[in-house]
Amino acid sequence: MFGIRTNGAVWRGALNLLLSIAMLLACFAGFTQMANALTCEKTSVATATEIEADTGTGAKTESPACTYTINLPENNEKYEIATEDGPKVAPHGGSFTFSLTLLDGYRHNKPIVEGNDTVLKGIQKGDTWVYKIGGITCDIVISVNDESWTAPKPVAHTVLLPQGEGFMVEDICGGKLVADEKYEVQHGKSISFKVRLYDGYLAEDLVVAANGKTVTPNGNLYVMENITEDTNVTFKLTKRQRHTVTFCESDAASVANVKGGVLLHDKAYGVNRGESLSFEVYVKSSHENRYLRIEANGKTISPKNGVYTLANIKEDVIVTLTLDEAPNRFSLTNTDTKVRVSGYAKATPKLHVSLLANSADAYKTLEKRIEDLKVLGAYDVSLSGSKHEGDVTVTFPVNEAYNGCRVRILRLTGSGKVKTYTAKVKNGKATITADALGQFVVAGVADPGVILPPRTGDNGKGYSLLGCVMVLLAEIGILAVIRHRRYVEEQQAL
């Protein structure tokens, strides 16, 4: 072994040297940190042009690897802040963009925006101001000096909602009552209300207008939106005129079970304009064989299930009940077309029948309604000399090939509507019962072997004879194939 004796003074000298070196390193580190802190204290704020640090010799300084926080104010009722750069941070020497938008009531103010107490210049775009900060080297606090901002006093308008005869304005929403029938509504806001009508008044007779312009309701709710001026609401309501329905009875017939209207005095009823009244008629047993004729202002009316109805009354009405001798029965046949009409009339009328030309408007109208059927005949039928009483029976000639088939017969009514009948052909004839005469078209399938399918409500069923034959032939063919296969299998087994 070898040992080295070391002098204590040497060791102490070495230790002092190491301590001196450590102190020098610590001082250098502290100096560097202080320099960086001093650099960050210098705020660089710009608007349209980014600022870059320069040494003055043309050589740019190197940016330290750090980011800085941009502190933005909170949104409030005066303005809203929005950013375009996502996170509210920026790298050393980088830039940051944000916008400030003035809200309703404060758009007349000019914003004063500061960054670290330095006023920023923004670019105005309508109610929005855009700000851009460049050359960022430290944290930045954005502030908005809005203490001197003023908000305009809201403008209010007066809406007059008067009450009147026959109605009541209620459920008013959106306005403040400031005087009798006067409501205060803020500029640009809305007000709504409902109108309740009293007995004897109808909604269709009410016209509501705001400063002369009609307000259309949604159901019973009236809404006036975006009010920008004082508004006078008017209500024009016309009370329906009441008409009188008077019954003139006979000793043999009387009115019973009157519904609708108000009894004014014996056999006279008050009915509001546009309303209806229904009644029944009682005939004494000793006169049941006589013909009952009911007329309203001279026009004959017919019952439905024994009930007579006066609908949409718009004038005074006199209803007469007349028992006549039973009318004569007639049956007339046009020799040229073989069309026959039968029914009842006071005197025997004269029958007129002509073929309906396919160029006539009535023909074209009826033809459109026969769908895929074939026109078998078209006629214009009328009576003269005496009107028929009640329904008439009309018989049309049809090719006997259609015997057993159903055909459709269409009639053009006086009001321009089309009424459809269905009839079964028997002995080359199709017969219907109608309440009036006019223009008729008889239509059937192109193939007489096909029975016309029934219309809605008809319980009859139609089948194609040709279809039945085809099904039968198909069944025979299938049986023949099956028997042939069995025969082949038996021969193979042998």
Q: Which of 83-97, 182-196, 442-456 has the highest mean pLDDT?
A: 182-196
Q: Quick one: pLDDT band at residue 197, thresholds 50, 70, 90?
A: confident
Stretch among 56-65, 223-232, 346-355, 366-375 having the lowest mean pLDDT? 56-65
- Give me the pLDDT at residue 412, please: 94
Q: Which residue has the higher pLDDT, 287 or 467?
A: 287
The answer, yes or no, to whether residue 466 has pLDDT greater than 60, is no
- What are the CA-CA distances from residue 73 to residues 48, 70, 143, 334, 345 (Å)? 21, 10, 6, 100, 98
Q: Quick one: pLDDT band at residue 48, thresholds 50, 70, 90?
A: very low
* Tokens 């980014």 found at: 50
The answer, yes or no, to whether residue 193 has pLDDT greater than 90, is yes
Least Cα distance to 239 among 274, 194, 193, 212 occurs for 274
Q: Quick one: pLDDT band at residue 363, thresholds 50, 70, 90?
A: very high
The answer, yes or no, to whether residue 479 has pLDDT greater than 70, is no
The answer, yes or no, to whether residue 46 has pLDDT greater than 50, is no
The answer, yes or no, to whether residue 349 has pLDDT greater than 70, is yes
- Give me the pLDDT at residue 405, please: 92
Contact between residue 382 and residue 438 where contact means Cβ atoms under 8 Å apart: yes
Domain boundaries, the chain: 67-144, 156-237, 248-324, 328-459, 464-494
- Give me the pLDDT at residue 229, please: 92
Q: Quick one: pLDDT band at residue 9, thresholds 50, 70, 90?
A: low
- Average pLDDT, integer, range 139-162: 86
Stretch among 46-60, 166-180, 223-237, 373-387 having the lowest mean pLDDT? 46-60
Q: What is the pLDDT of residues 274-288, one digit of tens each?
A: 889 999 998 877 666
Radius of gyration of the chain from Cα atoms? 51
Q: Which residue has the higher pLDDT, 143 or 293?
A: 143
- Give me the pLDDT at residue 101, please: 93
- Give me the pLDDT at residue 56, please: 39
Least Cα distance to 465 among 481, 478, 485, 447 occurs for 447
The answer, yes or no, to whether residue 129 has pLDDT greater than 70, is yes
Stretch among 9-13, 67-71, 114-118, 140-144 having the lowest mean pLDDT? 9-13
The answer, yes or no, to whether residue 263 has pLDDT greater than 50, is yes
Full 3-state SS string of the chain = CCCCCCCHHHHHHHHHHHHHHHHHHHHHHHHHHHHHHHHHCCCCCCCCCCCCCCCCCCCCCCCCCCEEEEECCCCCCCEEEEECCCCCEEECCCCEEEEEEECCCCCCCCCCEEECCEECCCEEECCEEEEEECCCCCCEEEEECCCCCCCCCCCEEEEECCCECCEEEEEEECCEEEECCEEEEECCCCEEEEEEECCCCCHHHEEEEECCEECCCECCEEEECCCCCCEEEEEEECCCCEEEEEEECCCCEEEEEEECCEEEECCEEEEECCCCEEEEEEECHHHCCCEEEEEECCEECCCECCEEEECCCCCCEEEEEEEECCCEEEEEECCCCCCEEEEEECCCCEEEEEECCCCCHHHHHHHCCCCCCEEEEEEEEEEECCCEEEEEEEEEECCHHHCCCEEEEEEECCCCCEEEEEEECECCEEEEEECCCCEEEEEECCCCCECCCCCCCCCCCCCEHHHHHHHHHHHHHHHHHHHHHHHHHHHHHC
Q: Quick one: pLDDT band at residue 448, thresholds 50, 70, 90?
A: confident
The reported pTM is: 0.35
- Average pLDDT, integer, range 199-204: 76
Q: Which residue has the higher pLDDT, 347 or 9?
A: 347
State the average pLDDT for the chain: 81
Q: What is the pLDDT of residues 397-428, one digit of tens each?
A: 999 999 999 999 999 998 899 999 999 999 99
- Average pLDDT, integer, range 80-92: 81
C-alpha 20, offset from chain centre: 92
- Average pLDDT, integer, range 459-476: 52
Least Cα distance to 294 among 269, 318, 276 occurs for 318
Contact between residue 426 and residue 397 where contact means Cβ atoms under 8 Å apart: no
Q: Quick one: pLDDT band at residue 492, thresholds 50, 70, 90?
A: low
- Give me the pLDDT at residue 462, please: 42
The answer, yes or no, to whether residue 185 has pLDDT greater than 60, is yes
Stretch among 286-295, 319-328, 477-486 having the lowest mean pLDDT? 477-486
- What are the CA-CA distances from residue 68 to residues 43, 89, 115, 140 (Å)? 12, 5, 13, 8
- Average pLDDT, integer, range 383-387: 92
The answer, yes or no, to whether residue 453 has pLDDT greater than 60, is no
User: In CATH, what number does 328-459 get?
Assistant: 2.60.220
- Give me the pLDDT at residue 440, please: 97
- Average pLDDT, integer, range 485-493: 61
